[in-house]
Structure 1
């Protein structure tokens, strides 16, 4: 990874140089000062160039962390900067810089360091959800968050073939898992009345959009395997009336999560006044949204057919073929 850290008149660049220092104590001190630095009013107007230079320093700082426990602690510390910055606008700008840096630097990361950058992504996804929860799922913040992930040059962009496929695959693997963890962590440390319902349809839209438009069958399948199929399974109504005792359940694996915290705390829209909905309402609304996204004119035809097939099968399970007409 070739990271320039030359000093210029930008106030971001000296900090970037300290973050990229070969001296660990210097790097540690720079990380601890990062949130305070980004919270000053003068930094709210960071240019894209300045943020890119700052994130080059941060990436190199993380690159230099070798021991697993050091890596884990530093990943958590960097992600938690999102929650320590004093303004939501500055936090989202820092998050935008993170994902731009991930895409920009990804092909330069060697295989031996790949797992630790996957861990860094996981920490930032979790911290992003905690940031949105703390801000009561502010509608504009959720819109900005989706844009950070899915506009051109970002990991969930359906139109940019330059984006490494592994980024969208990893996001699909961890997205709902980390959302569930973030809700649980907030619920355990705060007054439950402060936990606003999760606008789940808005949060899942980037994945529906990518699934309907991607030219990668691997990406499409991973999104449904790790996001939508497990979620639909968890929302599936249980209608068994058998008097016999149920068979012993197999232990639930981490790859087959129930997303319990997501399901019981979700609403359908992104209004602060929206109430939580039950499983049946949530499942039908998600199926409806999936059908609508797949029906859009710029959806890839083969993806449209597959998504409509999923919709038809789910509606048939409910014995409810009413509503929209599916397309083959």
Structure 2
């Protein structure tokens, strides 16, 4: 199978859409080799869209859970096989544009495998940023991919399905925690937590409905703040009005993160991280384009969680007094 045409674009469409699994497998491997060529520049937007249409259909016709899992991993790992960061990010942009475009066409029998594919790409994206040592420009472009018009977290584009944003909120901190579990030995930089949460802070501020706001807060923000509050103390997190059935711990995330400027081997305390996240929510609540309903909820969240911090401080002081006696 040829890996590229004379004009430098991969002639893989008909192979990716083949009914023969072996042909599709060869096409994916050829695609990885094509894109990972160090001399390769990012494909033009039209070519990337055409390529992702083929990849999307290739995944669509894959069957059997183990086959789907292996293919999802193989496709997402292309992000890390590409040596040029800008080419990797262009491939990632193509993935999200294709996913948003095709999401509403996915039937209920296939939706779970696409949830899995999204999860794999979120994890691979974090590993890519870890490898780039959380480069500021790379993180900014990554956030832009998520929030741009047509991106999965763009609240101003009515074509973007909210179900996709909800799924991202469900898995975001979990996949970041997994990615931080085995950081490169030569790149032990902590994750800039407020930078990575920025797209979701914007989503909360401009959520189109109360349901959307509550869904993102309960799926991502509440579990993360609970983890940052309970870490390092034997005290249980203060009870919520609607307590979660289980509390995520995110051990790797809370122990290997900083607020915004990564420095070697200098993760920040959970108290500092939590206060930074709360400050981020307070600041975006103050923005003029924040919806009034969201503004009220963000201020209420900030107030409630700040009171949690005060309760924790009292508990820690009490514990130190007991230990001293």
- TM-score band, normalised by the shorter chain? 0.7 to 0.9
State the alpha-carbon separation in 1 of the partners of residues 65 and 256 from structure 2.
34
The equivalent residue for 1:65 is 62
Q: Taking structure 1 as reference, are residues 40 and 290 closer, same or farther at Cα in structure 2, changes over 3 Å only?
A: same
User: Contact between 2:10 and 2:34, CA under 8 Å: does it hold in 1?
Assistant: no
Counterpart for residue 279 of structure 2: 288
Q: Deviations over 1:99-120 (max 9, x none)?
A: 0000111111111111100100
How far apart are residue 290 of structure 1 and its match? 0.6
Task: Indicate whether 1:142 and 2:139 are aligned.
Answer: yes
Decide whether the 8 Å contact of 2:191 with 2:262 is kept in 1.
Answer: no
1:319 has 2:310 as partner: yes
Change (3 A) 1:47 1:255: farther
Quote how far apart the aligned CAs of 1:216 are.
Answer: 2.3
Alignment partners' CA distance in 2, 1:240 and 1:272 = 25
Q: CA–CA distance in 2 between the matches of 1:56 and 1:120?
A: 15
Unaligned runs of 5+ in 1: 1-6, 247-252, 321-328
What is the TM-score with the length of structure 2 in the denominator?
Answer: 0.86
Checking the alignment, whether the CA contact within 8 Å between 2:227 and 2:247 is kept in structure 1 is no
Alignment match, 1:17:
14
What RMSD in Å do the two structures reach over aligned CA positions? 2.4
Deviation at 1:274, TM superposition (A): 8.6
Q: Which residue of 1 aligns with 2:203?
A: 210
Shift of 1:234: 1.2
- Aligned length in residues: 301
Give the drift of 1:218.
2.3
Moved more, 287-296 or 266-275: 266-275
Q: Which runs of 5+ in 2 are unaligned?
A: 237-243, 312-325
- 8 Å Cα contact 1:267-1:274 kept in structure 2: no
Matched, 1:304 2:301: no
When the two structures are superposed, what TM-score results if normalisation uses the length of structure 1? 0.86
Instruction: Kindly indicate whether the alpha-carbon contact (under 8 Å) linking 1:10 and 1:50 is maintained by their aligned counterparts in 2.
Output: no
Q: Distance in 2 between matches of 1:227 and 1:26?
A: 40
For residues 43-79 of structure 1, give each alpha carbon's deviation from its aligned partner in whole angstroms, at most 9, with x where no partner exists.
Answer: 4141111000000110111111111100000000101
SS at match of 1:21: coil
Q: Secondary structure at the match of 1:194?
A: coil
Number of the residue aligned with 1:111? 108
